[in-house]
Amino acid sequence: MTILLVDDDPSNLDILSRLLQPYYEVLAAPSGERALEIVAREKKPELILLDVLMPNMNGYDVLAILRKDPATQNIPVIFVTGMDSSEDEKCGLKLGAADYITKPYRPPIILARVHAQLELKRARDWMRNQNAYLEAEVARRMHDIQLTQDITIKVLAELAETRDNETGNHIRRTQEYVHILAARLQSHPRFSDYLTDEVVELLAKSAPLHDIGKVGIPDHILLKPGKLTVEEWTIMKTHSLLGAQAIERALRHVDRRIDFLDMAKQCVHFHHEKWDGSGYPEGRKGDDIPLPARLMALADVFDALISRRVYKLPMPVEQAQDIIAAERGRHFDPDIVDVFLAGFTEFVAVARQYNDEE
């Protein structure tokens, strides 16, 4: 292990060098400035024995610089000085010195304290390396869990879409629409407290699950190319409740709250509710409809209007824009409609980027 000796007195450097060289690699610096040049090298000393009283730059100055630099702040420093007052020692330790040795030199004391500080440094370095490894391992596993979670969401969402007349791009488009709406609403006084960056990302993550309940709808209803009968439409409308119940059953198997699944359940259950209370399944009205569902409602309707279905042709985006605007305060939250209209070009760009011909 390498020890750096710093002292403007050559005789002191010679005494300490002869004492320590049988056990350690020893470097010597006759001034604070030279000491800083040495510690700036790639290979740094494991310990510094630093004289306090030196011309130009004293030991306190050197230590202050070492402690400010992340590359040297963890190198232990033992002050070696002729000053033996408790105030001097207190000052040195307060500045971050690991120990304080007074002259005249007592070889057994110096060797014992040097050994103790090097052992402490070795233990701290080991702990630091272990912590870094554990942090990296936790980050890797969290990434794996996140990736697995995202893939599972995608698979479940696309499973629902395969039973419908819609395409996988519908999932991506509506997810992007929800993200745009939520991000634009972050500065709105009604929503700013709720729509943190984390919540915006969770909303976008949960959006693909909005129609997962369609897996419970019989094919002859779900895939029917024509208009549904009253009885068939009643069954079709149960998909929102079926999806919410499926997520609720899944949540019963965990012992803590999972935020994105809570949002997904709100979105699945209530995205067919309308601002004026004329929607389903519960006829909720206004702010009684959870915000994730209100965002999803507009995103879902806009995409349905501009998309091709077996029973209809796609509608021009300008016509869809007019329909959404006309439903302000009826089907949709007025403030969400305003944000949609203000950012309409973004929605059109998403629709074109993820069109069904891709």
- Residue 95's CATH number: 3.40.50.2300
Q: Which pLDDT score, from 0 to 100, does residue 255 have?
A: 75
| Cα distance from N-terminal residue to C-terminal residue, the chain | 63
Has residue 138 been placed in a domain? no
Across 187-212, average pLDDT: 92
pLDDT digit string, tens, across residues 271-298: 999 999 999 999 999 999 999 999 999 9
Q: For the chain, how many structural domains are there in total?
A: 2
pLDDT digit string, tens, across residues 221-275: 888 888 899 999 999 999 999 999 988 888 887 777 778 888 899 999 999 999 9
| Boundary of a domain, candidates 90, 111, 132 | 132
Length reported for the chain: 358
169, 125: one domain = no
- Any idea what the Cα angle at residue 42 is, between residues 37 and 46, rounded to 5°? 85
Residue 5 β-bridge partners: 28, 49
212, 256: one domain = yes
Has residue 238 been placed in a domain? yes
112, 184: one domain = no
Domain of 78, in residue numbers: 2-132
pLDDT digit string, tens, across residues 134-191: 888 888 887 777 776 677 676 666 666 666 655 568 888 999 999 999 999 999 999 9
121, 251: one domain = no
Question: Among 119, 127, 122, 82, which residue's Cα sits nearest to residue 101?
Answer: 82
Question: Among 4, 19, 95, 85, which residue's Cα sits nearest to residue 51?
Answer: 4
* pLDDT > 90 in the chain, percent: 55
Q: Which pLDDT score, from 0 to 100, does residue 139 have?
A: 83
Q: Which pLDDT score, from 0 to 100, does residue 352 have?
A: 93
User: Under 8 Å CB-to-CB from 110, ≥6 apart: which residues?
Assistant: 16, 19, 20, 101
Q: Which pLDDT score, from 0 to 100, does residue 86 have?
A: 64
Global pTM?
0.62
Has residue 219 been placed in a domain? yes
pLDDT digit string, tens, across residues 293-350: 999 999 999 999 999 876 778 899 999 999 999 999 999 999 999 999 999 999 999 9
Mean pLDDT, rounded, of the chain: 88
User: Under 8 Å CB-to-CB from 128, ≥6 apart: which residues?
Assistant: 74
